[in-house]
A = this chain, B = another copy of it.
């Protein structure tokens, strides 16, 4: 969630009439421009009122604390499933209802706030808002009905709980999630065509199977007739596509005659391998196509926001051109990002101001959010504090030898070796007191390493340089995660670092998929709990239930499910439901799990097949598609255009790229020695997920979008609704 840092502007409304120099815009104008820039930077697409009052309300709306509150209450609302019947920790109905009411009030207040910020007509046109209002109203109705039914002793269903995860999708901040859902929705028609063909092929094979095996009087291991009922065959073959019942489903036919294996080989080739790959291809292709279109829209609306900001700050320049002066630009940047260092800001200005004219035109101004999104770490290059405090001691020959040793490659190798030995010790038996003592010795060695490094390098430089890899070094000390130290050994090999860094870059997007999965799992868990709760019971070893060995029900006696100790895989509370759904996502044994949960309730198969289609065929494939795309980008695109232009500018400014850190560029970092070693600037990739997406499609976007730069009649694009 992007965090707004425009705190000084909260007083915009009050400061409107502060007098400013003649040619200068009002302070409130700066605020408005800064809001535009910040929106462009974080790709917010809210059409707010531009009156100073509305702007400061809008700022408050985007304040990180407000966003945090909304997410906390959504989290609380979702977490209520833990306490509601069937509960992990039971709570009285009035308690959960009260908490839910509070959540609903918060959501309503947030919505009121939003309504104040944007024009009324836009508020009612936005399906997101309608959606939230409907969810709130339905939840309210459900609470009342459920409460009154329960208090009068009737049975009731909390059906509105299914709607809760939709809040995550429809809050203003859920842009990434909405985009993911839109991509899925847009890919659906194509997926459906392939799915129909796939189903058709399955039905065809089922018919053939019925004709081939139905009359042969074969039996499965459990003694059931084999392949005699058409619908059962269809289901068995669907399960075979997921490979979950391979080779069991084949064995009776194969035992009867080896040639029958050919039928299953053909089936697996066509339906498991080819069709599943086609699904991936279709999902991938459509996902990419639609995402590209979305990113194009993002870039377009970003530019329009920047043009608006420019319109607010523009002043007549030397010719006919309208410009923004360096002074105004500085103030704007200071408002947008108060914590920016002077060196960093000067660098950005020198990049924007090509010709050293102390003012920039429209084209250069529009670049600002991209420049701000490049992560730059400013760091003063200064002598080691020990060097200042004890110059003689620190420069003594012993000290210099020590520092030289620490800087030597062998130092790294020795510690890699120590870590490996440590890992082996961890693998060994801990009962042995010698090994327990060794653990303390290793700890001491790691501490010594950090101290030696701090002695050799200037502390701030040391931490800034290693960034991610050093946080882990601190984690080393945490004993529970001590095996993670091994990552350091891998880190020292360049090739591995590239892969690991790509994985880390994908990280934030995986969180978006996490939300996506959460929404889908939550809905399925709610429905599943209503349908299947208490059908299967997990009983402790000391239970006296007569059906203890068959999960508390006589129906499961002697089934694979009971034999494999699967009793805890049930829908009896939200936690076990989630874990059960995860097992269904992994697919293996899902037919066993389902046959138990349903306890021979045949129609329940539909629930599970539907889950499989939604989660495995669609969402997991999109996830795979995203990872594929991210790796292709990593393997093909070396640097983004903007970063390259940044480097070009730096070279033009006669600054040299330092060699040591250029070697470090595998981290995605580059360092620049600015003004005779006074500052170091590291810049890594983009800060946001949108940045990564933009980078993915940069090559396709850059050309055509240059055209509509001069289009003055821009309109606000409303593509932010599902």
A426 CB contacts on chain B under 8 angstroms = 207, 211
**Which one of A267-275, A316-324, A639-647, A675-683 is at the interface?**
A267-275
Judge whether B254 and A568 touch: CB under 8 Å: yes
Judge whether A499 and B631 touch: CB under 8 Å: no
**Which chain A residues in 405-433 approach chain B with CB under 8 Å?**
423, 426-427, 430
Judge whether B261 and A635 touch: CB under 8 Å: no
* A624: interface (CB < 8 Å): yes
What CA separation (Å) do A208 and B485 show in the bound complex? 12
**Which one of A44-52, A239-247, A384-392, A441-449 is at the interface?**
A239-247
Judge whether A632 and B285 touch: CB under 8 Å: yes
Task: Produce 1/0 per residue, A180-214, CB < 8 A to B.
Answer: 00000000000001101100100110011011000
* A293: interface (CB < 8 Å): no
What CA separation (Å) do A179 and B281 show in the bound complex? 23
Judge whether A623 and B273 touch: CB under 8 Å: yes
- Interface band, chain A: 35 or more
Judge whether B285 and A635 touch: CB under 8 Å: yes
**Which one of A70-78, A331-339, A580-588 is at the interface?**
A580-588
Judge whether A251 and B565 touch: CB under 8 Å: yes
Judge whether A563 and B273 touch: CB under 8 Å: no
What CA separation (Å) do A486 and B503 show in the bound complex? 46
* A374: interface (CB < 8 Å): no
What CA separation (Å) do A111 and B565 show in the bound complex? 62
* A461: interface (CB < 8 Å): no
Judge whether A427 and B499 touch: CB under 8 Å: no
A247 CB contacts on chain B under 8 angstroms = 566, 569, 583, 586, 588-589, 593
Judge whether A624 and B204 touch: CB under 8 Å: no
* A628: interface (CB < 8 Å): yes
* A372: interface (CB < 8 Å): no
Interface residue SS majority, chain A: helix
What CA separation (Å) do A486 and B200 show in the bound complex? 9
Task: Produce 1/0 per residue, A613-630, CB < 8 A to B.
Answer: 000000010011001100
Judge whether B255 and A565 touch: CB under 8 Å: yes
* A3: interface (CB < 8 Å): no
Task: Produce 1/0 per residue, A523-564, CB < 8 A to B.
Answer: 000000000000000100000000000000000000000011
Judge whether A251 and B568 touch: CB under 8 Å: yes
Q: Determine how close the nearest CB of chain B comes to the CB of A187; give it in whole angstroms.
A: 12
What CA separation (Å) do A495 and B197 show in the bound complex? 10
* A717: interface (CB < 8 Å): no
A631 with B569, Cβ < 8 A, contacts A265-B582, A563-B221 known: no
* A330: interface (CB < 8 Å): no
* A655: interface (CB < 8 Å): no
Judge whether A193 and B272 touch: CB under 8 Å: no
Judge whether B193 and A586 touch: CB under 8 Å: no
Q: Determine how close the nearest CB of chain B comes to the CB of A173; give it in whole angstroms.
A: 24
Residue of B nearest to A490 (CB): B200
Q: Determine how close the nearest CB of chain B comes to the CB of A273; give it in whole angstroms.
A: 7
* A248: interface (CB < 8 Å): yes
Residue of B nearest to A496 (CB): B197
What CA separation (Å) do A588 and B589 show in the bound complex? 9
What CA separation (Å) do A588 and B273 show in the bound complex? 14
A628 with B280, Cβ < 8 A, contacts A193-B499, A499-B194, A579-B261 known: yes
Q: Determine how close the nearest CB of chain B comes to the CB of A189; give it in whole angstroms.
A: 9
Most chain B beta-carbon contacts within 10 A, residue among A248, A423, A564, A628: A628
Contact partner of A278 (CB less than 8 A), chosen from B197, B258, B274, B499, is: B499
Judge whether B200 and A575 touch: CB under 8 Å: no
A210 CB contacts on chain B under 8 angstroms = 427
A248 CB contacts on chain B under 8 angstroms = 564, 589
Contact partner of A565 (CB less than 8 A), chosen from B197, B221, B484, is: B221
Most chain B beta-carbon contacts within 10 A, residue among A423, A430, A582: A582
Task: Produce 1/0 per residue, A355-384, CB < 8 A to B.
Answer: 000000000000000000000000000000
Q: Determine how close the nearest CB of chain B comes to the CB of A455; give it in whole angstroms.
A: 30
What CA separation (Å) do A203 and B419 show in the bound complex? 14
A484 with B204, Cβ < 8 A, contacts A246-B586, A277-B628 known: yes
* A310: interface (CB < 8 Å): no
Question: What are 19 A-B pairs with beta-carbon distances under 8 A?
Answer: A193-B495, A194-B499, A200-B486, A207-B427, A210-B427, A211-B426, A221-B564, A230-B427, A243-B588, A246-B586, A247-B593, A255-B538, A258-B575, A274-B503, A278-B499, A281-B628, A285-B631, A285-B632, A588-B588
Give chain A's interface residues, CB within 8 Å of chain B. Answer: 193-194, 196-197, 200, 203-204, 207-208, 210-211, 215, 221, 230, 243-248, 251-252, 254-255, 258, 261, 265, 268, 272-274, 277-278, 280-282, 284-285, 423, 426-427, 430, 483-484, 486-487, 490, 495-496, 499-500, 503, 510, 538, 563-566, 568-569, 575-576, 579, 582-583, 586-589, 593, 620, 623-624, 627-628, 631-632, 635
Other than A193-B499, A204-B484, A255-B565, give 11 A-B pairs with Cβ distance below 8 A: A193-B495, A207-B423, A221-B563, A230-B427, A247-B566, A247-B593, A258-B568, A268-B582, A278-B503, A280-B628, A281-B631
